[in-house]
Amino acid sequence: MSTEKPLILVVDDEPDIRELIKDILEDEAYRVVTASNGEEARLVFTQQQPQLVLLDIWMPDVDGISLLKEFKQQNPGVTIVMMSGHGTIETAVEATRSGASDFIEKPLSMAKLLRAVELAIENRAKQAAQRHEFALEPVGKSPKMAQLREQAERVAGHEMPILLIGEGGTGKHCFAYYLHRLGLYNSGKFIEVSPESFPLDSHKLVSLAQNNTLYINDVALLSDEAQALLQHLLESGRLKECQLICATQLGLDKVIARGDFSEGLFYQLNTITLQLPALRDHVEDIPELVHFFVDQQTTQADLPYRRFTVAAQNRLRNYAWPGNVLELKNVIQRLLVLGDSDDIDVEDVESALQAEQPPQADDVTGINFDQPLREAREQFERIYLLQKLQETDGNVGKAAKLAGMERTHLYRKLRALGIDSKQV
C-alpha cells in the first residue's frame, strides 16, 4: 500500500488546456478534478477539498487572484500555483503576496508543469514536517522513558534553568520542546540557539528570551565570551521571565576539568538536570519508536507505508545505535525511501544499517587537499551524489530524498557537476 497522492484541482476556461493538464497529471498517478470557471471552481473546492490548486489568472466570471484569496481564506493550508499566458511581473508579485506558492507561464510544457507540481508538493511535505518536527510527547513506555517524562512534568513550570544531558541523537531537542509545552511560557515561542548563533549582545539575548523558552544546544561548546555573558545575565537576574533549557553531550564536569567551561556558569545551570538514556539502554522502546517514525514519515514526508517484519524489528533491537534515536529515524527513512516491497525484512535492515556506518577514512582521502575549497567542495559533492545515486540505482527522486534536497535542486546540481544519473 502506498500513500495516496494529493488531489489536484485544475481551473482553466480553455477545455483543451484543462484536459491536457489532467492527462499529464493522471499519467503521473495524481488524482485530478477540473473546473472551467470561477463558480464551478468554488463548488469543487468546497466539496472535494483539494490539497493543490492550479489556477488560471484570466477567466470570464472572476479573476484567478480574487479566487486565490478566497481559497486561501477558506483553507490557509491549501497550496495554489497560478498559471497565466500573459503573465507580467506585477501579476506574479500580486499572486505571491496573496499566498500563491508558485507561478507557471503558459504555454505550458509537460516538464514545466510537472516540475511546478512536484515542487509545490515537496514544499507542502516539508512545511508539514517542520510544523511537526517534534513529537508532541516523547515516545517510549520503558521505565527509563516513563521516569524521564515524569521528571519533566515535575520540573516544568518552575522557571529554573534545566540542563539536559545525553549523547547525540538521544532526544534532547525533543525533550526540550516537551518541557516548553509543559512550561510557563508555552504560549511564547520555542527559540533555539547554538554556540554558532549565540547572540553576544545582552539586550538581544534578553529580548529574545523574554516570555519564551530559550533552548541552548551544545552549551559546553559556547565561547568564553558567550559563557561570561550568560553567567552575568543569570547571576544578575536579568534573564528572567523565560524558561532556559541547555543541552550538552559532554558531562560539564569533564569540560570544567579541561578548563573549557566556567565553574560559575556550571553552578547556575546544574540545579535541575535530566539525563537522557542512550537508545541501547532502552531497546524495549524500539518497536514503538519504529511505529511512530513510520507513521510520521508516511503521513508528513509523503513516503509509502511499509511494514517491518518481526525479524526486522528484532534486528533493530539488537543493534548498538551509536547515533541513538536520530540514527534509528534515519535508518527508517532510508528503508521507506529505498524499499520496493510492502514488507521490510531483516536483510533490508542489515543493508540500511551498513549504509549508516560512518565513511571509512579511505572514502575521504579521495579528496585532493591541495586544491582551493571551492574545487574540493565540488569534488566532495560529486563523490557524495554519485554514492546516493548508486544507492538508489540512479533514481533521482529517491536520491534527493536521501540527500534531503528538492528533486529539482538535485537535477540542477547534477547538471552543474556534469553527472548523468542514467550512467550511474
Q: What is the grid cell recorded at 231? A: 553567567
| Closer residue to ligand ATP in complex, CB, 315/329 | 329
Contact 56, 13 (CB under 8 A): yes
CB 182 to ligand ATP: min, Å: 15
Comparing CA positions, the residue from 272, 284, 314, 289 lying closest to residue 171 is 289
| Closer residue to ligand ATP in complex, CB, 93/136 | 136
CA distance linking residue 344 with residue 341, whole number of Å:
7
Choices 31-39, 168-176, 336-344, 382-390; region in contact with ligand ATP by CB under 6 A? 168-176
Choices 100-108, 166-174, 254-262, 332-340; region in contact with ligand ATP by CB under 6 A? 166-174
Choices 325-333, 356-364, 390-398, 405-413; region in contact with ligand ATP by CB under 6 A? 325-333
Which parts of 281-300 interact with ligand ATP (CB under 6 A)? 292
CB 107 to ligand ATP: min, Å: 43
Which parts of 12-71 interact with ligand ATP (CB under 6 A)? none
What values do phi and psi take at 398, rounded to 5? Answer: -70, -40
SS3 content of the chain, % helix, strand, coil (to 5): 55, 10, 35
CA distance linking residue 197 with residue 262, whole number of Å:
19
CB 171 to ligand ATP: min, Å: 3
CB 353 to ligand ATP: min, Å: 17
Q: How far is the CA of 383 from the CAs of 81, 217, 366, 376, 389, in angstroms?
A: 35, 31, 9, 11, 10
Q: Is 203 helix (H, G, I), strand (E, B) or coil?
A: helix
Q: What is the grid cell recorded at 174? A: 525533543
Identity of the residue numbered 340: D
**Residue 356 contacts by C-beta under 8 Å, 6 or more apart in sequence?**
323, 327, 330, 331, 334
Contact 352, 338 (CB under 8 A): yes
Site size toward ligand ATP, by CB under 6 A:
19
Contact 83, 56 (CB under 8 A): yes
Choices 51-59, 163-171, 201-209, 260-268; region in contact with ligand ATP by CB under 6 A? 163-171
CB 248 to ligand ATP: min, Å: 9
CA distance linking residue 349 with residue 291, whole number of Å:
15
Residue with the CB atom nearest ligand ATP in the bound state:
171
Choices 78-86, 113-121, 164-172, 221-229; region in contact with ligand ATP by CB under 6 A? 164-172
Report if residue 169 touches ligand ATP, rule: CB under 6 A. Answer: yes
Look up cell 514545466; give the residue: 112
Find the DSSP H helices in 49-171. 64-74, 89-97, 110-131, 143-155
| Closer residue to ligand ATP in complex, CB, 130/341 | 130
* Of the candidate residues 208, 301, 326, 405, the single one contacting ligand ATP (CB under 6 A): 326
CB 290 to ligand ATP: min, Å: 11
Q: How far is the CA of 50 from the CAs of 7, 18, 45, 67, in angstroms?
A: 5, 16, 6, 14
| Closer residue to ligand ATP in complex, CB, 36/297 | 297
CB 121 to ligand ATP: min, Å: 22
Report if residue 303 touches ligand ATP, rule: CB under 6 A. Answer: no
Which parts of 245-284 interact with ligand ATP (CB under 6 A)? 249
| Closer residue to ligand ATP in complex, CB, 50/166 | 166
Which parts of 116-145 interact with ligand ATP (CB under 6 A)? 134-135, 138-140
CB 173 to ligand ATP: min, Å: 3
Cβ neighbours, 10 Å, residue 15: 10
* Of the candidate residues 18, 149, 173, 398, the single one contacting ligand ATP (CB under 6 A): 173
CA distance linking residue 153 with residue 263, whole number of Å:
28
Give the interface with ligand ATP as residue ranges (CB under 6 A). 134-135, 138-140, 166, 168-174, 217, 249, 292, 325-326, 329
